[in-house]
Amino acid sequence: MGDFSGQVAIVTGAAVGLGRQYAISLAQQGCDLVICDIRPDVVQVAEELKKLSVRAEAHVANVSVAADVRRVVDSAISNMGRIDLLISNAGIWRGSGPKDGVDKSLEDYDALIGTNLKGVYMFGRAVIPHMIAAGGGHIINIDTDHVHTHPGRPTAGGGIMDLYDVAKWGVLGLTLTWAKALKPHNIRVNSFSMGATDSFMLRGFHNHAAPPEEVAKWMRAEDVCDLAVQMHREGPTGRTGDNIGVWVGFEIELKPIPAAKPAMAEA
Amino acid sequence: MGYLSGKTAIVTGAAQGLGKAFAERLALEGANVAICDIQGDVLKVGAALEALGHGALARQFDITSRTDCETFVADTSARFGGIHILVNNAALWRSTPVTDPWDKALKDFDDVMNVNVKAVMVMSRLAVPHMIAAGGGEIVNISTDYVLPARRDGVNAPDTDLYNASKWALNGLTDAAAQALAGDNIRVNNLAMGPTDTAMLRALFYPGGKLEHLGGPDGPPAEITAGFMDPADIAALMIDLFKDGRTGENIGVWAGYPIELGPRKRWDVRMRERADFTGQPLREYGPPPWDDAPEPVWHLAVGRPDGA
């Protein structure tokens, strides 16, 4: 029995890769799980989780569809009774750039902003009232190292994924604002800005045929997901409003909890 | 002859406040200006500019209408022969407390993002081919100082998650466009401002933040408005930005500080003021600032090297 027993977490995009690993890492700590994914395979993941002696339920759901978001959150409350942690992991990738035509851009906007920003927004907004009623909770949003780069690396995905970056910068805006708005309610809100991690998305870049020597350069999903466990374990007095940089070539670790920033410190 | 003579600038949301100030200053520098707004006063702003002898084209439409944007950009290019400057100024502020009812939350997302992000994307996509054809240009997106955590904590009032997110999101458009369009002599920057004396800001002091209350009782007290920055000063800073030639930066403008461009920023911190958002100072990461921002091949101040 782990130290998260009795708690319930929602993980979005949990059929594969990092999302699945978040769910497993949490289940290993005894956390019950409600998971969703647009892929039907998410149902099998729930079966795997149950073998770890936790309660688990799966939903085939599209995070960019409001009714799907409601269904997952409402079901979590009615079947599990509470939501202690939300990990908004579901995300998609597409290339886009400032020279694209308007038709393609609008299509990319709907896809990328719909899933990567509106999906995060809707899931957060759906769970927040329940967390307030319960007296606390924790939201972890998944960002990108395009936003919080490792030292010396330019921001952005190099000019060829502007709408992906738009969504991810937007997620940071939500994270910071929610952290501030929800502090009085003991709800913590943090995010991860990760570099290359062994995920379904990154394997997809390589057409799921990345050579082992390439995969060996990436961060392991288990290590990144363990950071989420550590951050959740900090409990109600833990960090909030933190955007954790997790980068290849650097220690995969949580920095000490930052001191509160003055509202208007001298530069 | 102003240094923008023969150039054409588009300013969105130019019926009042910052947009109007940008249009007036661009016209003063000699540019033809094409302005639009959802509010009809934009036509008066256009007429006033024309009365002063400036080339001006004014249209009233909703910036979220793709077809209206397309017509506006095409008409601007046809009338003035090319587009060199785009100021994406139109924006929507709305109170969006996290405890709002679900249906409002959904509507607010689309309303705020469609104006503050999607329309910026559409207008930029439409203008870029004209700028490339003209040999270069300038895009300015209007952000907020909340996105520069060095002097703020990264957010403003906690009931504005969508407005904040929309302004943070602009970093994505600006940063990528600066990199992708550098070879086309197109520079893209954000102006990230603190409180500026605009209708949007003054309206916040009235019930519901509604513009129609403007001028009524209970407006912002004089001691508050005295701390607001003047839109004309921000417009002047924008001209300095064009003359400077930098690209891909968040230009921070804080009330109570000098209104100036400041030094160029390192590539890895152009979009932010800190190496991360946890208060760790940049110097923790060692080497002194380096600046490999490319010198502009040309910019509007000096004209193209081939004299075209």
| pLDDT tens per residue across span A128-147 | 999 999 999 999 999 988 88
The model's pTM? 0.91
pLDDT for A213 equals: 92
| Partner A, chain B 56-85, Cβ-Cβ below 8 Å | 66, 70
| CA distance to A169, A170, A262, B8, per residue, from A174 (Å) | 9, 6, 20, 36
Report if residue A159 sits inside a domain: yes
Distance from CA of A54 to the nearest CA of B (A): 30
Cβ contacts of B75 within 8 Å, gap of 6 or more: B34, B57, B59
**Residue type (1 letter), B305:** P
Better-predicted residue by pLDDT, B144 or A259: B144
Phi-psi region of A93 (alpha: psi -120 to 50; beta: other; left: phi over 0): beta
Regions in chain B scoring below 50 on pLDDT: 274-308
Report if residue A213 sits inside a domain: yes
Report if residue A261 sits inside a domain: no
Total number of domains in chain B: 1
Report if residue B59 sits inside a domain: yes
Report if residue A267 sits inside a domain: no
Report if residue A191 sits inside a domain: yes
pLDDT for B200 equals: 79
Asked if B151 contacts B252 with a C-beta cutoff of 8 angstroms, the reply is yes
A218/A128 Cα distance (integer angstroms)? 34
Report if residue A264 sits inside a domain: no
B155/A175 Cα distance (integer angstroms)? 10
Report if residue B166 sits inside a domain: yes
Per-residue pLDDT band for A263 (boundaries 50, 70, 90) equals very low
pLDDT for B231 equals: 94
pLDDT for B79 equals: 97
Report if residue A258 sits inside a domain: no
pLDDT for B242 equals: 93
3-state helix, strand, coil in chain B (%, to 5): 45, 15, 45
- pLDDT (tens digit, 9 = 90+) per residue, B260-306? 998 877 766 777 664 344 444 433 333 323 334 344 344 444 444 44
Per annotation, catalytic residue among A22, A109, A121, A164: A164
The CATH number given to whatever domain includes residue B78 is 3.40.50.720
Closest CB to A158: pick one of B117, B124, B179: B179
The CATH number given to whatever domain includes residue A99 is 3.40.50.720
**pLDDT, averaged across chain A:** 92
- Enumerate long-range contacts of A182-187, CB under 8 Å, 24 or more apart: A182/A128, A182/A131, A182/A132, A182/A240, A182/B98, A183/A240, A185/A131, A185/A132, A185/A135, A185/A136, A186/A135, A186/A136, A186/A137, A186/A236, A187/A128, A187/A131, A187/A132, A187/A136, A187/A137, A187/A138, A187/A139, A187/A240
Q: With an 8 Å Cβ cutoff, are B164 and A173 in contact?
A: yes
Asked if B271 contacts B143 with a C-beta cutoff of 8 angstroms, the reply is no
Contact list, B106 vs chain A (CB under 8 Å): 66, 122
Closest CB to B276: pick one of A113, A157, A243: A243
Report if residue B84 sits inside a domain: yes
Contact list, B275 vs chain A (CB under 8 Å): 151
Report if residue B221 sits inside a domain: no
A167/B144 Cα distance (integer angstroms)? 17
Share of chain A above pLDDT 90, in %: 73
Q: With an 8 Å Cβ cutoff, are A125 and B102 in contact?
A: yes
Q: Examine the predicted complex and report whether its ipTM is higher than 0.90.
A: yes
How buried is B168 (Cβ within 10 angstroms: 0-12 exposed, 13-18 middle, 19+ buried)?
buried
Is B211 touching A (CB cutoff 8 A)? no
Phi, psi torsion values for A193, nearest 5 degrees: -110, 100
Distance from CA of B293 to the nearest CA of A (A): 11
Average pLDDT over residues A251-264: 66
Report if residue B213 sits inside a domain: no
Give the tokens for residue B306: 């081939």
Report if residue B246 sits inside a domain: yes
Report if residue A124 sits inside a domain: yes
Total number of domains in chain A: 1
Tell me which H or E stretch contains A182.
Answer: helix A162-182
| Nearest residue in B to A96, CA atom | B176
Is B280 touching A (CB cutoff 8 A)? yes
The residues pairing with A56 across neighbouring beta strands, listed in sequence order, are A33
Better-predicted residue by pLDDT, B238 or A265: B238
> Mutate which of B170, B277, B282 to test chain A, going by most A C-beta atoms within 10 A?
B277
Give the tokens for residue B235: 């417009």
pLDDT for B308 equals: 40
B86/B138 Cα distance (integer angstroms)? 6
Domain around A156: 8-246
Report if residue B293 sits inside a domain: no
B305/B308 Cα distance (integer angstroms)? 8
Report if residue B22 sits inside a domain: yes
Is A125 touching B (CB cutoff 8 A)? yes
**Whether the predicted pLDDT of A117 surpasses 90:** yes
Asked if B83 contacts B76 with a C-beta cutoff of 8 angstroms, the reply is yes
Give the closest residue to A168 by CA, choosing from B158, B118, B170, B192. Answer: B170
Closest CB to B173: pick one of A149, A166, A258: A166
Asked if A141 contacts A191 with a C-beta cutoff of 8 angstroms, the reply is yes
Give the closest residue to B254 by CA, choosing from B163, B144, B134, B139. Answer: B144
Average pLDDT over residues A196-217: 89
Cβ contacts of A15 within 8 Å, gap of 6 or more: A35, A37, A38, A39, A40, A41, A42, A45
Cβ contacts of B217 within 8 Å, gap of 6 or more: none
Domain around B180: 8-194+229-285
